[in-house]
Structure 1
Amino acid sequence: MKTIKNKSKYILLLLIFGLFNCEVGDLNQLEDPSNLTPSSADPELLLNNVQLQFMRAIAYNEDNEDGINVRAAEFVRMQHLFGAYAGPFSLASSAIDDIWTDFYRETLQDISVLIPLAEERELQGYVGVAKILRAYSYVVLVDTFGEVPFSEALFGNDLPNPKLDDGQAIYTAMFDVIDEGIAAINTPNSVMPNDLFYNGNKTQWIKLANTLKFKMYLQMRLIGDFSSEINSLIASGIIEDSADDFEFKYSTVASATGESRHPYFVLCYDADGADDYLNSYYVNLLKADKGFEDPRLRYYFYRQIAETPTGDDLPCEGEPGYNFCYLGDFYWTRDHGDDEGVPPDQLKRTTYGLYPVGGAFDADNFTPVVNNQGASGAGIFPLMLSTYVKFLKAESALTNNTSGDPRTLLEEGIRASMDKVLNFNPGQVDAAFAASTQDVEDYITFVLAQYDSAVDDNERLDIIMKEYYIALWGNGFEAWNNYRRTSMPRDLSPHVATPGEFPRSFLYPASVVNTNSSIDQKPVTTKVFWDTNPDNLQ
């Protein structure tokens, strides 16, 4: 099984902590000097595991044991959904156990060990980073599942069946945790870790903390007026520049003991070819939706073959009810929900390109991925980019009248996305096929003309959210958040088969429901506390 747990430090960590990492409740027992205990732990290694498991819970992509991002991206047409929303190849309760484990038994439990250890050793920077990651983790859990264990979580055998806590109550608690994290980092002479995100930069961690609070307040805009809090956070300093982007950087290293390449690259650039299909609606957004190619098209997607699919390679051909079936120009994709037979076409499917997974730039190579490794997996997972913040500010300015002009912020968001994508690993880009400055200007002119001709704020917001959606390539989780909050983009292609109900939250993992007497299963239609949109999302 492939995994992103690749760092040599992490391998050492597993050896050191394997005996005590599963049960926090046992940590108060008398210590045997022959056994390693939390008090003898290296905070740096422990924090490394926190970060790696945090990313695994979100970004893992392998053999239907996927992280949150895969399922969320399938819901909103960023990745291909095979069959029903809650079917055996998508959101099955038996297939999401690892997400819960990666958050509760790894990320959050290690944080619960790290914080008192760092406080005892007066490593306040470590405390601050750990608390910010704790808050980020719980916010993701609430946004994903709704009600989750919090007040009784992580007590091991003392509380083996932790109850579910209200999502809004957890959000409220996390605002306090974030403030505690900021205060710890701001402690005079605080020692910062060599972390995997910001390498111990205090200013950047504080900007992330403020940005997380900003995102949380905006997420709740349907249930209250938080405009003053949002304006205060914008003034205090949030992620506004790409240098401060909250992203996880992968490398090109693959070994028998671990995997440090982008998980989507690992899945789709091996000898077997691309395991994933891309979604026709999303690819068409960049290929033809505006009547011309999006400048990011060749950076996002890579075509393996200069052939038109026919026969067994195109099972949708001639069938009614399909929105696209085949897009033309050798883009081999699938319509949303298409669960027709799967031919042996892994070395023909259009797959992930250079950005953000570190794959290949499409220069009309038409070479299978096994012979064109592109950037060899040295991609990023874009958690919260300055690009995203500009679109969120545009949404907030339009809907809450917070600081900034929504049209200007829309333009800034598009420009930031273009700059991020078009300058990503430029050594991989064939200049003959690279997007030009004029291409970018023409695109922006087109979108702003759409915005100026919109008849009301709903149309204007739809334009903002659609451009944000396009810029989010690689982060389906935030796209799913946006869709549940705004019901936009409004033109998402319909499911071509029998979809079932659109997921407003994840099911609880089967192992949790079966072993925790405090948790009963819920339907996917159960809404997260901030989601007050109509029931007709699809």
Structure 2
Amino acid sequence: MMNKNIIKAATGILAALSLTITGCSKFLDINENPTKAVDVDPSYLLPSSQANIGMVIGNNFQVYGGIYAQFWTQDISSSQYKNIEQVNLDPASFDRPWQFLYAGTLQDLQVIIDKTNSKRLEQYAGISELLKAYSYQVLTDAFGDIPLRDAIKAGSQDILAPTYDPQKMVYDSIFAMINRGLSLIDPASTAKPGKDDLIFGGNMANWKAFGNTLKLRAYLRLLKVDSAFAAQGVASLAGSTFLTSDAKITYVSTGGSQNPLFAEILGLGRTQNLIASSTTVDQMNALKDPRVFTFYRTTPDTFGIAGIPQGSYKTTWDYNFSAPNTAVAAYGQNDSSALAPVKFISAAESYFLQAEAAAHGYLAGDAKTLYQQGITASFAAYNVAPGSYITDVVAAFPATGTEAQVKAIITQKYFAMCGNQNFEAWTEWRRTGYPSFLVRSLASVLPAGQMPQRLLYPNSEITRNPKFPGAKLAYDKVWWDAN
């Protein structure tokens, strides 16, 4: 679901990855003249930009995050993601997501904002500011310093040699974008998007909550690097509404409108490259977490859930192990995987963010109650009966000790994000060091003791941008990672 110029920018993209969400295909004619992007109505550009973000976080970054968060590992009988498992990364692998977000999403969102000259378009502009902030946070959390001031230009003209801005400046701009977006959004407005808003269907109250939740996420991201600024920012959100439902794109099984990860699996002949990592599975089994049967498939021999050690794909295993399930789009043999949503921010994440803020004393509310609401929201999202799990886990929530409470909150957030918010789970591990049970992949080629901490700048920047600031290593930490 993208216009022709975006497809051209994402060189080598599989035809199966083109998204045409049911009911929205009229907005996204891929035969549209790419030189006339500035003349396209926002009702066409908004779903295109949303789908592009969904493509990145639901496919490219979903795979990297899934392996580095150790929800998944490389299958022993295939090889598609061995280089990711090894952390032997090729900069060219990041050309596509970089182009999707810069040449596609951010350019289109800026066109919408520049066209805001009526009350009808104010709501489109408000959403666009929030999605710009979201996109820049994904980019900077993945790569570190990125182009921002020179990244996009009015008139749909690319800047070929943008200057890179430091992460602190990027985060300052993210907060400014969120504030502009929130100032434009009016839940009472009748002049707003409808089906062309693939995430909330034009529900502006949900967009207001999305903006507040995104701001809370961004402030907490900076907690270790600038605690005073983060604390003050979180406190400024007192009385705000936060998400109580998932911000997500829902897909269907026909017409090229599948979940983007499953669409790639189809393009690879349904090969099952991703299987369960024992890092996560063993922990969920030990806790008797019933969600493990939703996120993973049972093995034919025991009808239980089993993984293999992270990065042990070279080993010959004499027992069956689990694949990710259809609920997380990663089981290639069942078309139900096509229906799995891509979550931008989940309700569970929203509650866990609030719980962490409350544990620090920055936001009103009871951390334990919010923690329980986060776990409950995760179970509800997949219609899983919790049994005694929530009661048992909440009973074990530390009564005192901020760090102990934060550890419990982030660990449960990690389980809730299993297979559905992989990049965010990995990012939260980088920020907090939780969960504390992640291990070094057996296949890693990084120096002893090192873990993957960032993605590499794309080859297109290395070879074409004379202002490129210099390559980074996969174990170089980003600015806010003060662990």
User: Could you say which TM-score interval applies, normalised by the shorter chain?
Assistant: 0.7 to 0.9
Shift of 1:187: 9.5
From the superposition, tell whether residues 14 and 331 of structure 1 become closer, same or farther in structure 2 (CA, over 3 Å). same
Deviations 1:371-429 (A, max 9, x none): x54x4522212221121121122222223443222222222222222222225xxxxxx
CA contact (8 A) 2:67 2:85 kept: no
- Asked if 1:338 corresponds to 2:287, the answer is no
Distance of 2:148 and 2:85 partners within structure 1: 26
From the superposition, tell whether residues 192 and 493 of structure 1 become closer, same or farther in structure 2 (CA, over 3 Å). same
TM-score using structure 1 length: 0.76
88, 91, 95: which is aligned to 2:89?
A: 91
Bigger mean CA offset, 264-273 vs 168-177:
264-273
AA partner of residue 229 (structure 1): G
Q: How does 1:240-259 map to 2 (within 5 A)?
A: 241-242=244-245, 245-253=246-254, 255=255, 258-259=256-257
114, 117, 120: which is aligned to 2:115?
A: 117
Shift of 1:504: 2.1
Distance of 1:17 and 1:525 partners within structure 2: 42
Q: How does 1:457-496 map to 2 (within 5 A)?
A: 457-473=402-418, 474-496=420-442
Q: Which residue of 2 aligns with 1:73?
A: 66
Q: Which residue of 2 aligns with 1:167?
A: 167
TM-score using structure 2 length: 0.84
CA contact (8 A) 1:46 1:114 kept: yes
Work out the percentage of aligned pairs sharing the same amino acid: 25
Distance of 1:125 and 1:134 partners within structure 2: 14
CA contact (8 A) 2:281 2:306 kept: no
Bigger mean CA offset, 124-133 vs 524-533:
524-533
CA-atom RMSD in angstroms: 3.0
Secondary structure, counterpart of 1:238 in structure 2: coil
401, 404, 428: which is aligned to 2:365?
A: 404
From the superposition, tell whether residues 158 and 387 of structure 1 become closer, same or farther in structure 2 (CA, over 3 Å). closer
Secondary structure, counterpart of 1:377 in structure 2: helix
Distance of 1:405 and 1:413 partners within structure 2: 12
Q: Which residue of 2 aligns with 1:310?
A: none
Q: How does 1:128-527 map to 2 (within 5 A)?
A: 128-155=126-153, 159-186=159-186, 189=189, 191-194=191-194, 195-222=197-224, 223-225=226-228, 226-239=230-243, 241-242=244-245, 245-253=246-254, 255=255, 258-261=256-259, 263-264=261-262, 267=265, 272=270, 274-287=272-285, 289-290=286-287, 293-303=288-298, 306-307=300-301, 331=305, 333-340=307-314, 350-357=322-329, 370=333, 373=335, 375=336, 377-422=338-383, 435=385, 439=387, 442-452=388-398, 456-473=401-418, 474-500=420-446, 501-519=450-468, 520-527=470-477
From the superposition, tell whether residues 377 and 358 of structure 1 become closer, same or farther in structure 2 (CA, over 3 Å). farther
Distance of 2:459 and 2:373 partners within structure 1: 44
Secondary structure, counterpart of 1:80 in structure 2: strand
Distance of 2:381 and 2:354 partners within structure 1: 18
Secondary structure, counterpart of 1:214 in structure 2: helix
Unaligned runs of 5+ in 1: 21-36, 61-66, 308-327, 360-368, 424-434, 534-538
Distance of 2:316 and 2:27 partners within structure 1: 37
AA partner of residue 263 (structure 1): L
Deviations 1:90-122 (A, max 9, x none): 632121110101011111111222222343685
AA partner of residue 15 (structure 1): N
Shift of 1:457: 3.7
From the superposition, tell whether residues 164 and 186 of structure 1 become closer, same or farther in structure 2 (CA, over 3 Å). same
Q: Which residue of 2 aligns with 1:536?
A: none
AA partner of residue 105 (structure 2): T
CA contact (8 A) 2:71 2:276 kept: yes
CA contact (8 A) 1:126 1:193 kept: yes
CA contact (8 A) 1:135 1:174 kept: yes
Distance of 2:67 and 2:190 partners within structure 1: 42
Q: Which residue of 2 aligns with 1:58?
A: 57
Secondary structure, counterpart of 1:16 in structure 2: coil
CA contact (8 A) 2:103 2:158 kept: no
Secondary structure, counterpart of 2:29 in structure 1: helix
Shift of 1:177: 1.5
Q: Which residue of 1 aligns with 2:7?
A: none
Shift of 1:455: 7.8
Shift of 1:357: 3.2
14, 18, 25: which is aligned to 1:9?
A: 25
From the superposition, tell whether residues 403 and 265 of structure 1 become closer, same or farther in structure 2 (CA, over 3 Å). farther
From the superposition, tell whether residues 125 and 402 of structure 1 become closer, same or farther in structure 2 (CA, over 3 Å). closer
Deviations 1:331-358 (A, max 9, x none): 4533212241689x9xx76222243439
Secondary structure, counterpart of 1:382 in structure 2: strand
Distance of 1:56 and 1:231 partners within structure 2: 33
CA contact (8 A) 1:504 1:528 kept: yes
From the superposition, tell whether residues 171 and 259 of structure 1 become closer, same or farther in structure 2 (CA, over 3 Å). same
CA contact (8 A) 1:83 1:499 kept: no
From the superposition, tell whether residues 396 and 120 of structure 1 become closer, same or farther in structure 2 (CA, over 3 Å). closer
Unaligned runs of 5+ in 2: 1-13, 75-80
Secondary structure, counterpart of 1:207 in structure 2: helix
Secondary structure, counterpart of 2:344 in structure 1: strand
> How many residue pairs align between the two structures?
449
